[in-house]
A and B are shown apart, each in its own frame.
Chain A
Amino acid sequence: MTDQLNVNMSNEDIKKKSTKKRSQYLEVWRRLKQNKSAMVGLLIIIILILSAILAPFIAPYGIDDQDLLNTLQTPSKDHWMGTDNFGRDIFSRIVYGSIISLQVGFISVGIAMIVGGSLGAIAGYYGGKLDNLIMRMMDILLAIPSILLAISIVAALGHGLKNVMIAVGISSIPSYARIVRASVLTLKDQEFVEAARAVGTNNTRIILKHIIPNSMAPIIVQATLGVAGAILSAAGLSFIGLGIQLPTPEWGAMLSSGRQFIRDYPHMTAFPGLAIMITIFGLNLLGDGLRDALDPRLKN
């Protein structure tokens, strides 16, 4: 009897919880939908993701289909964005470049979020000397401008897409550590955490199941904006020749190689530049919209 009652109760509990959870996300989505600029941002990101997934079907040419007889063509019916100095189709390269940019953006933010988030959570939850140690290390990282840090890491590890992602990831660890630590600090003394502690839940479980989910809002916002920053940093690294290897169609590298032709063939720089700009713009609009939608103080 008692057993059955218990089961019933917990079942109901779960049901309630899940409906509440769903409604919470629905609520965020509802508020996000109202924000027109955020929807524009979302649309841009969706287009970007689709073009990355469908690149082989969208792009009319390959990434390294050189044609030395058709170099530096201005935009035309055959080449929508013209060709570069090796006669490669710029539109195709930009489409393929979206794969690189998304990879760099999401993976490096993933690295930063996992490492920075864990460090921040540990520091915030345990406090004391450990907190001091971790956060002072983060301060040291913060003291170095992130692009400079990324440059030194790439210089040490060598060129290549993988190393660019690691470098950009590492250089943005401190910001995640700080955000997570701050929200952990506010959460750890709340009743539901005390309750969890009272029933004997261990620390790892408390952090993973109770604290992290409740501090997701600022992390999501930071991550969305972080992807934009990461794409920009990677493009910057490639622009100064420290990023990916030739002939990878990275947007920053394409900008850089178009630089020598900028006075006669501005399309070589304009299109990759626009691609970077629109992507960053979209991510920032979305990030900003998410921030508003996730902020309980702005509930209407």
Chain B
Amino acid sequence: MKKKKIAVLLSFILILALFATGCGNNQSAPEGDSGPGTPTDKKDVLIVGQGADAVSLDPHATNDQPSSRISKQIYETLVTQNEEMELQPALAESWEPIDDLTFEFKLKQGVKFHNGEPFTSKDVKFTLLRGLDSPHIGHIVGSIDPNSIEIIDDYTIRISTKDPFAPLLAHLAHTATAILNEKAVTEFGDDYGQHPVGTGPYKFDSWVNGDRVELVRFDDYHGKAPAIGKVIFRNIPENTNRTIELETGGIDIAYEIPPTDVSRVESNPDLVLQRNMNLSTTYLGFNCNKEHFKDVRVRQAINYAVNMEAIVKSVYKGVGAPSKGPLGPNVWASNQNLTPYEFNVEKAKKLMAEAGYADGFKTNIWTNDNQQRMDIAEIVQNQLKAINIDAEVKVVEWGAFLDGTTAGEHDIFILGWVTVTGDPDYGLYPLFHSSQHGAGGNRSFYVNEKVDALLDQGRTSVDPAVREKAYIEVQQIIKDEAPWVFTWSGEDLAGVRSNVKGFKQHPAGHHKVYTVYFE
């Protein structure tokens, strides 16, 4: 009897719970949260909701978006890129090239770390050397020659690369190269990721794992002091909940508004939807090491068989745009004039037959549990049936996904890439150069000597015209050789309450919140 009651109860609860998912936990409305109707001048806490918790606030321990969005407020880099991706001085006041390999940086004086230590060139050297040892950010600082970092005086430093490396400055603007304080890092040791110390406008206050990270204004900040005293980054993984929190005033800014909620946020007079094309690209890649996908005809056949434009429209509902190439439209030297593969099942069948796979084959599509990517996988699986390819969709947990695709266990996979620096080197070299197989980023295990040569040329040449020509050609080859099906150029959607001013999204995804004020 009891069992039965419990079972009936459970089934009811299951249904009810689903209808009630919207009513997330709102009991933790933090102090200072005025809500509608209360005078705004009292409000001194900004609450930002994002879809995942930070992994670590040690910039060398991770390279993921949720972490760097918080790190951006705590740390500063030598140079920085504004929302238009133009280089700006930050901790370095000025810089000049000494020769093809070396830059000299003049550092800003009078800058203090959150622990009171003064900022000097020693910290820069310490940071870069530590970053070079990190497996997570190797592709960002790897070009720097560790033996060449030369301290001229407390506020002058020279940094050289092993080979000429055109995008060095853009790399030094990456949040992963933010300057750390040696004393703080040594003091906290392995726990440093939970006790970050930077020079930024906000200093770390507390971290409730899986729930929120709280930051408070750093009073000795060397730049313009932020208007708001406290910032809270809340982790709200469920998309619907994040939108509801924004609607009800539980949070002031919501990152990553899902495509399904766009019209809801747009039509709400209390909310503003900020839309900006970002530097990300989502793609469907083939593991070119696998028997079937070694044949370029099979890869092209799938490009013809999949109606990617319709898929993107259906899944992303007008957010972002179907990709035209391996680089997003905002990246410099992005080739947007490639002729796309048309949707043509007959042509695809012909290519499959030529490759000897008229009867198709079995394969798998790997994706992580990102909703849109799972949806794409399911539609692609369906469309591949037309050319007799029997694909199994494997939804793999993020960590296992990265490990598995690094080891090359996958056949087809869906993944994204953010060209954080806005430079094509960052968006192409790790993904297509044959030296970058697996962990480096080339998870399609694509090899092409011409591509390698052109990518090397683009990386080492200092003449922008030469670089541009090389990159345009690389993108043409990649389209023709089809290691990818180009999928989606990303767009950042942030929902902002209408009393929040001064917020502007950064194309690389790590938005500044220290310029925000309430009205």
Binding site for B on A (CB under 8 A): 64, 66, 68, 71, 85-86, 159, 225, 228-229, 232, 235-236, 241, 245-247, 255, 259-264, 266, 269, 273-274, 276-277, 280-281, 284, 287-288, 291
Contacts and interface: CB of A to CB of B under 8 A. Distances in A.
Given A247-B381, A259-B18, A276-B11, A287 B4 contact: yes
B260 A261 contact: yes
A229 B7 contact: yes
Given A86-B314, A245-B393, A277-B12, 19 more contacts: A85-B375, A86-B375, A232-B14, A245-B394, A246-B374, A246-B377, A246-B381, A247-B381, A247-B393, A259-B18, A259-B21, A260-B260, A262-B19, A263-B240, A264-B264, A266-B19, A276-B14, A280-B11, A284-B8
A15 B392 CA distance: 57
B382 interface: yes
Contacts of B261: 263
Interface in B264-291: 264
Provide the main secondary structure of the chain B interface.
helix
12 contacts: A232-B10, A246-B395, A247-B382, A260-B240, A261-B260, A263-B261, A264-B264, A276-B15, A277-B15, A280-B8, A280-B10, A288-B4
B15 A68 contact: no
7 pairs of A and B residues whose beta carbons are closest in the complex: A280-B11, A273-B15, A246-B393, A68-B314, A284-B4, A277-B11, A66-B382
Given A228-B7, A260-B258, A263-B264, A273 B371 contact: no
Nearest to B12: A277
A287 to B, nearest CB: 6
A246 B260 contact: no
A85 B311 CA distance: 11
B5 to A, nearest CB: 9
B163 interface: no
B353 interface: no
Given A273-B14, A280-B8, A259 B240 contact: yes
A159 B394 CA distance: 9
Provide the main secondary structure of the chain A interface.
helix
Contacts of B394: 159, 245
B435 to A, nearest CB: 33
A261 B239 CA distance: 10
A247 B380 CA distance: 11
B387 to A, nearest CB: 16
Nearest to A65: B382
Nearest to B11: A280
Contacts of B4: 225, 284, 287-288
Nearest to A288: B4
A259 B258 CA distance: 13
B87 interface: no
A269 B19 CA distance: 8
A280 B11 CA distance: 7
Interface in B391-416: 392-395
Given A68-B311, A246-B381, A273-B14, A262 B21 contact: yes
Interface in B28-87: none
Interface in B286-313: 310-311, 313
A266 B7 CA distance: 24
Contacts of A247: 378, 381-382, 393
B208 interface: no
B3 interface: yes
B229 interface: no
A247 B21 CA distance: 24
